[in-house]
Structure 1
Amino acid sequence: MTVPPGFDAFLGIDWSGSKSRTLKGIRVARCEPGSRAPRLVDGPRPGGLWCRADVLEHILDRRRTGERLLAGFDFAFAYAHQDAGAYFPGLEGGPATADELWAFVERHAAGREDLYGGALYEAGSPVAHHYWRAGPRPEGFVERRRRTELACGAITWPHPVFKCFSAANVGTGSLAGMRLLHRLAERAAVWPFEAPAALTVVEIFPRLYVRRAGVNPGRLYERPADVDAVLAAHGSAAYAGPPLDTEDKADAVLSAAALRHLASAPGVWSAPASEPASRREGWIFGVESANPGAP
């Protein structure tokens, strides 16, 4: 296993796949080595908001200053592959590796503003039928799971990655995220597809870090004492910044603390090594390797 660098900063990024130009759902929190609590970072838009392109530029700017950065994003870095031997079963000539998947998403979503990825499940897309786009579960829809999601299920289950509607959907955010990864591929180490480097991006799952602390994640932002309990479980001092009045803000802060805490654990970095599927499917940072069962 490649030993990760000593990072100078850790960013927890609560992502959004929304089509809106005003992305209140994107929040960024930052902390440095030590135990000081993470703090929210304002974006360059009015009200301190971010768009997706702003986040990309921010992490690249930080790296240009020489900062060694570990950035965590809460979207799926890839789709299930091992279960069917393909990301999109039945698609002739479809992508076979993660970087090919990101390029495929970029190609079919090209021209959509601010990395929006919804074109993949719209009419005319060659893979639209793989996605749950609206209404009741489509006939024949299979809730495919990556190996890391199955392993994570021992503590808490991620939402289906091919579901692209409702407040709980992670599908649209993951498509936008794959467009981001396509742009980062030659400028950052996308773990676990690449060994960690001075700029490393990893997939995070905030609810996992909350559950690991023994705290109920439901509307956690309304319970400051529980927020501090999760921070303490990840070696952080109590939160001391502006109120965490949304789930997105709380998730960003808690994820930054979890990243800092987990980054020093060799077992976290080596977990995907025993799961060959991780080479195509990715891995959630902090999920232990296991022999998972079905949901």
Structure 2
Amino acid sequence: MSFAGDQAAAVAPAPPAPDRFTGFAAIDWSGAVGMRQPGIAIAFCEVGNDAPRRVRPGHVWSRGEVLDWIAGEMPAGTLVGLDLGPSLPFADRGAFFPGWDESPADARGLWALVDRICAGDAHLSATSFVDHPQAARHFRRHGNRPGDLFGAGRGRLRVTEEAQREQGLNPYSNLNLVGAAQVGKSSLTGMRVLHRLGGAVPVWPFDPDPGAGSLLVEIYTSLAAIAAGRARGRTKMRTVEALNAALAAPAIASRPHPGEGPIDDHGSDAILTAAWLRRAAPTPTPWRPATLDRHLAQTEGWTFGVV
């Protein structure tokens, strides 16, 4: 997969070959404070129809451990989805942080900036970045403290998030740090992980697919749930029975997950999304979003499965 042309023309790379990947992983992420995060879950499956399994079931992951797993333990040839926003809005204002002379020109520069400013923050957290006097102006923060450049309403959205809305989803701005549904902290902590990967695993569409080895994409777990027949707004599955009903859907076509009764929704999100990636990856449509162009690919990125 390669990006052709120097202008912001539509990107139409060839999709990976249908048998490009031999493993599929989904990581439900957390930006919460602390060393270990109960909200992190990893599920993995191979080609076929066996139900995805939790990686280290019962283990409470740290973000550093997830980084190590991706970089050194994940099986080769894995398509791995991270449930976080790997970038911030850029296209709407021509910059991540208009008016700040350190505002980076692309996403990899953004990841480096966040990691540098947060170098002293333990556990790959991002407190120093949201407290930075220039960056803080662009975030909605706790204590009803909207930055003077946050904007009105729900805040700035990336182009892929606008496309998510058109598909009936309910994205939140990555610049919003307030409320149970906020995704800003997950995004910023994830950027530190992506920077520290240092290119060991390419990240689509910021990097072209090299055609072999593992590849990382951004996921939105609700897409998998909706593909499996779950209603919009009711995508969380908190019992094994509900999860297995979703796994059995034609778009997922997976064997059931063992067990019965309650299951945490972080685990069920990861399990279902790994199975969905297994079916979506061999098809060309998710790799060719209609409005993804070269500039977006380098600045804002794109959510796999949003077309």
Q: Deviations over 1:242-266 (max 9, x none)?
A: 7662221111111111111111111
Shift of residue 93, structure 1, vs aligned partner: 3.5
Match of 1:134 in 2: 142
Is 2:168 aligned against 1:152?
Answer: no
Amino acid at match of 1:88: F
Shift of residue 218, structure 1, vs aligned partner: 3.1
8 Å Cα contact 2:239-2:263 kept in structure 1: no
Shift of residue 203, structure 1, vs aligned partner: 0.4
Q: Which moved more, 1:76-85 or 1:266-275?
A: 266-275
Q: Deviations over 1:45-66 (max 9, x none)?
A: xx41110111111122235x6x
Within-5 A mapping of 1:53-92? 53-62=64-73, 67-92=76-101
Distance 1:145 1:241, change over 3 A: same
Q: Deviations over 1:199-229 (max 9, x none)?
A: 2111000012212333135373234443223
Amino acid at match of 2:32: S
Within-5 A mapping of 1:119-198? 119-122=128-131, 124-136=132-144, 138=146, 141-142=150-151, 143-154=155-166, 155-197=168-210, 198=213
8 Å Cα contact 1:9-1:32 kept in structure 2: yes
State which of 216, 220, 243 in structure 2 corresponds to 1:205.
220
Structure 2 CA distance, aligned partners of 1:196 and 1:56?
Answer: 20
Distance 1:203 1:259, change over 3 A: same
Using the size of structure 1 for normalisation, the TM-score is 0.88
Gaps of 5+ in 1: 289-295
Shift of residue 19, structure 1, vs aligned partner: 1.2
Match of 2:297 in 1: 278
Within-5 A mapping of 1:251-270? 251-270=269-288
Match of 1:31 in 2: 45
SS of the residue corresponding to residue 140 of structure 2 reads: coil
Gaps of 5+ in 2: 1-12
Using the size of structure 2 for normalisation, the TM-score is 0.85
8 Å Cα contact 2:30-2:37 kept in structure 1: yes
Q: CA RMSD in A?
A: 2.1
Is 2:236 aligned against 1:227?
Answer: no
Amino acid at match of 1:61: G
Shift of residue 137, structure 1, vs aligned partner: 6.7
Within-5 A mapping of 1:233-252? 233-240=251-258, 245-252=263-270
Answer 1 or 2: which has greater helix percent. 1
Is 2:120 aligned against 1:99?
Answer: no
Q: Deviations over 1:130-150 (max 9, x none)?
A: 111114473753211111111
State which of 12, 26, 38 in structure 2 corresponds to 1:12.
26
8 Å Cα contact 2:142-2:177 kept in structure 1: yes
Distance 1:61 1:27, change over 3 A: same
Shift of residue 110, structure 1, vs aligned partner: 0.6
Distance 1:230 1:196, change over 3 A: farther
Shift of residue 182, structure 1, vs aligned partner: 0.4
Q: Which moved more, 1:21-30 or 1:228-237?
A: 228-237
8 Å Cα contact 2:52-2:271 kept in structure 1: yes
SS of the residue corresponding to residue 36 of structure 2 reads: coil
Q: Deviations over 1:151-178 (max 9, x none)?
A: 1112202122111133211101110100
Q: Percent identity?
A: 36
Q: Deviations over 1:184-212 (max 9, x none)?
A: 23211110011224121110000122123
State which of 58, 63, 72 in structure 2 corresponds to 1:52.
63
